[in-house]
Structure 1
Amino acid sequence: MYGWIIYNGHLQSDAFLTFANWVSDAGTKKGIQIDQIKNNELLVMLDDETPLLSSGQQRPKPSFVIFIDKDISLARQLESLGIPVFNTSQAIATCDNKVEMYEVLHQANIPIPKTILAPKIFSKQQNIAFESFYPIEKALNYPIIVKEGYGSYGEQVYLIHNREALIEKIQDIADRPFVFQSFIQSSYGKDVRLYVVGDEVVAGLRRENTNDFRANVAAGGKVMPFIPNEQQKQLAIAATKAVGADFAGVDLLFGESDEPIVCEVNTSAHIKNIYDYTGVNIAEHILALIIK
């Protein structure tokens, strides 16, 4: 076997490099060469004879690709060449756009916060009929979560307390996909992230933030190891399967009676925090799944 791990060449953060390094190291332990490749080293060319242009060294066709980027077109091109890609381009696309992700989870009967999809608005310059959004106030009650379709680290998630703030936020993000959600007060500043690989939850973290409604580490949340109960594990596995992912970080909220509610499914969740707090090397589990 011979593999590639593809990450974004323009995001030179330690988190992406660590993921790639650990996957390569896991391959070395198994006697499998796994080359690290930046997505911008492979240019998609819509041509039958030369489907990929390489700006790096020429490499043989891999047996598999571990894809930790969101370059969906590149992932699709690799799949079109008959290369197994983990996660698949469809799973990445589904989770990259939270609007689509919530639709898919709902269709699979996965519990999510009550969600209303924002209607399409082409630009901020349009005359927005703000009164058409007022029924949301009765359906969800303030405070309301507004969440952009594309975003990371909780930075595109907003807690809205009144109509004035609602109108202002709609005006601000009108040209992007977004959703409205009920605010799960019982999960204020706390959630859990479970890392699913295949049919198994291999590790878990609990995140808490006393200064923000978001538990994300980027928002100041503190992290600790977490051992999920069976209900939480089964829900995380079901959510991962619903979006078609082979591995994913599943964020769960705490409902009023502590019942788990899926907040998000992330197909490129970072693995260093998991290792730092639990000692579990997710890269080894991912490679074991691929070999299996």
Structure 2
Amino acid sequence: MKPKCGIVYNGHLQSDKFMVQLHWLSDTAKRHGFEPELIGNHRLIPAVIDGRCTLLGPYADYRPDFFFFWDKDIRLARHLEKMGFRLFNSASSIEICDDKSRTYEVLAEHGVTMPKTVTGPLLYEGFELEDVSSVPSIVAELGLPLVLKEAYGSFGEQVYLIASEEELIGRLKSLGAKPYVLQELVASSYGRDVRINVVGGEAAAAMLRRSETDFRANVTAGGRMFPYEPTDEEKAFAVRCAELVGADFAGVDLLFGPDGEPVLCEINSNAHFKNIFDCTGVDLAEAMFRYIRSVLYAADGSRKGDAPC
């Protein structure tokens, strides 16, 4: 019997680009001898019955060998782990990467070069920001222009370049209760960055992204992508970042420091892989499932003794 693989995705995302990658993952899993099942997160219904974690609905009795968790539904991921399932990536690593403020906090004190970062204070829903007395101190430390990032966001969206204190105050008030971080602008990397995809502790693929019109280099924001051969320093830096957040695989985005040194921008635990395939020809789905098989199974195909049931 083939080992079962549950591929979890967000059931509300149905774009062609997204679905193409889902079926790509499924086809790759089959080639590696797995029996994949594409499952929208809304169809896995987590429940606690009689004090035990369980599932309701169509997948109540579904017991795969592992879940390929290609979503950010942290509560569901934690629930599945509580039931004893192995997830790639883990709930913890997804949570750390999904919250930018958490990413910088976890990587702090580990020698990882990052932009100066200020985490915004908690503001409850329904309340308005009134006291902005901290703004001058923040601007004095970070300088202008500075970068405002909502803590949750993808594809370079929810990231803003702020030119003045007045603009910053206006943006903070418009954010309301949304969490955010403020960062110094790494001017030496304006409009360009490097995405390094790490799989199983190795730099598997890399591309340079460049924009002629925007401080953000993201392709979705109008940037162009080019094949890139990272330096040994950049590879080691990206691998180290992925290890610190506990990710089996991740897209690590690096900025260019004043002397060309790598500076962490952010880490993506559920990085899309079509763009980097189009750019470099490297099939990250293949690399990810090859890694999963090496973790769970011995060369003769038997289940490794220390792998979760």
| TM superposition score category, shorter chain reference | over 0.9
- Contact 2:32/2:290, CA 8 A, preserved across alignment: no
Measure how far apart 1:123 and its partner are.
4.3
Q: Is the 8 A contact 1:7 1:16 kept in 2?
A: no
Tell me what 2:254 maps to.
Answer: 252
| TM-score using structure 2 length | 0.90
- Superposed displacement of residue 174, structure 1: 3.3
Distance 2:254 2:55 in 1: 39
SS at match of 2:108: helix
Separation in 2 of the partners of 1:85 and 1:122? 33
* Residue of structure 2 equivalent to 1:9: 11
Query: Out of 195, 198, 201, which is 1:196 matched to?
Result: 198
CA distance in 2: counterparts of 1:288 and 1:201, whole angstroms: 14
Q: Is the 8 A contact 1:15 1:270 kept in 2?
A: no
Name which of 102, 109, 116 aligns with 1:114: 116
Larger deviation, residues 223-232 vs 127-136: 127-136
1:52 aligns with 55
- Contact 2:53/2:83 (CA < 8 Å) preserved in 1? no
Deviations 1:103-141 (A, max 9, x none): 111133211111111122224643521122210111011
Counterpart secondary structure, 1:121: coil
Q: Which runs of 4+ in 1 moved over 3 A?
A: 123-127
Structure 1 residue runs without a partner (length 5+): none
Between 1:120-129 and 1:80-89, the stretch displaced more is: 120-129
Match runs of 1:252-271 below 5 Å:
252-271=254-273
Please give the alpha-carbon distance, in whole angstroms, between the structure 2 residues aligned to 1:142 and 1:283.
40
- Provide the TM-score with structure 1 as the length reference: 0.95
What displacement does 1:199 show?
1.0
Paired residues for 1:71-220 under 5 Å: 71-123=73-125, 125-126=127-128, 128-220=130-222
Measure, in 1, the Cα distance between the counterparts of 2:53 and 2:108.
40
Paired residue total: 291
Report the residue type matching 1:91 in the other structure: S
What is the aligned partner in structure 1 of residue 305 from structure 2? none
Q: Does 1:39 align with 2:41?
A: yes
Equivalent AA in structure 2 for residue 54 of structure 1 = G
Task: Give how far 1:50 is off.
Answer: 7.1
Equivalents in 1 of 2:58, 2:242: separation in Å?
34
The whole-number CA distance in structure 1 between the counterparts of 2:34 and 2:240 is 30
Residue deviations 1:244-277, cap 9 Å, x none? 1110000000011110101000001101111111
- SS where residue 276 of structure 1 aligns? helix
Report the secondary structure of 1:250's partner residue: strand
Say if 1:94 and 1:100, in contact at 8 Å, map to a contact too.
Answer: yes
Measured against aligned partners, the alpha-carbon deviations of 1:155-174 in whole angstroms (never above 9, x if no partner) come to 11111111110110111113
Q: 1:85, 1:108 → 2: CA distance? A: 26
Whole-Å Cα distance in 2 between the matches of residues 222 and 82 of structure 1? 42
| Rounded Cα–Cα distance in structure 2 between residues aligned with 1:136 and 1:177 | 16
- Cα distance change of structure 1 residues 47 and 124 upon mapping to structure 2, 3 Å threshold: closer
Instruction: Note if contact 1:124-1:172 (Cα within 8 Å) is conserved in structure 2.
Output: no
Preserved CA contact (<8 Å) 1:124 1:171: no
CA RMSD of aligned residues (A): 1.5
CA distance in structure 1 between the partners assigned to 2:86 and 2:239 by the alignment: 21
3-state SS of 1:270 partner: coil
Q: Does the 8 A contact of 1:247 with 1:267 survive in 2?
A: yes
Q: Per-residue CA shift, 1:14-54, capped at 9, x if unaligned?
A: 34323321222122212221111111111111225671113
